[in-house]
């Protein structure tokens, strides 16, 4: 049985919805006319990000050190960056929270990271819809 080569779809087919989905959660789905998915993702991700800020969650910054510290901080930073414009606007407006030693701030930090991870899943979904892998 011969193996099929999986070709990468043309860039112009998926680049715009993926970029829009990263910049504004749900925008890639709006671009592909998936209105219900787009609005749900926008409210879920923006809401989770907003609650993370209200709980005084900390956004990660790249930090080196031992292996665990490096992985946690760079991973958290990439997840925060996955929020796209939400992250950039919050940073531009001067949001910076030091690590606080209480549970609410810790949950807020997790909300910020989880919002970014959810947006990554939404971006993968947009890619699959755009290239025709998903109806």
Q: What does the pLDDT average to over 122-127?
A: 97
Q: Specify the pLDDT at position 6.
A: 73
List b or e across 26-51, with b for residues whose CB sees 16 or more CB atoms inside 10 angstroms.
bbbbbbbebeebbeebbebbbebbee
The tokens describing 36, both together, are: 């219900």
The tokens describing 81, both together, are: 């960056």
Instruction: Give the pTM.
Output: 0.89
Q: Specify the pLDDT at position 99.
A: 73
pLDDT in tens, 18-31: 999 999 999 999 99
């Amino acid at each position: 049985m011969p193996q099929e080569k999986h070709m990468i779809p043309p860039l112009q087919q998926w680049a715009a919805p993926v970029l829009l989905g990263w910049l504004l959660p749900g925008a890639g789905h709006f671009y592909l006319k998936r209105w219900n998915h787009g609005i749900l993702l926008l409210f879920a991700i923006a809401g989770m990000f907003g609650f993370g800020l209200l709980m005084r969650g900390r956004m990660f910054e790249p930090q080196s050190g031992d292996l665990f510290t490096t992985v946690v901080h760079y991973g958290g930073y990439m997840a925060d960056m996955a929020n796209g414009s939400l992250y950039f606007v919050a940073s531009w407006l001067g949001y910076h929270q030091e690590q606080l030693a209480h549970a609410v701030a810790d949950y807020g930090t997790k909300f910020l990271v989880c919002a970014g991870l959810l947006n990554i899943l939404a971006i993968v979904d947009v890619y699959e819809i755009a290239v025709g892998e998903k109806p």
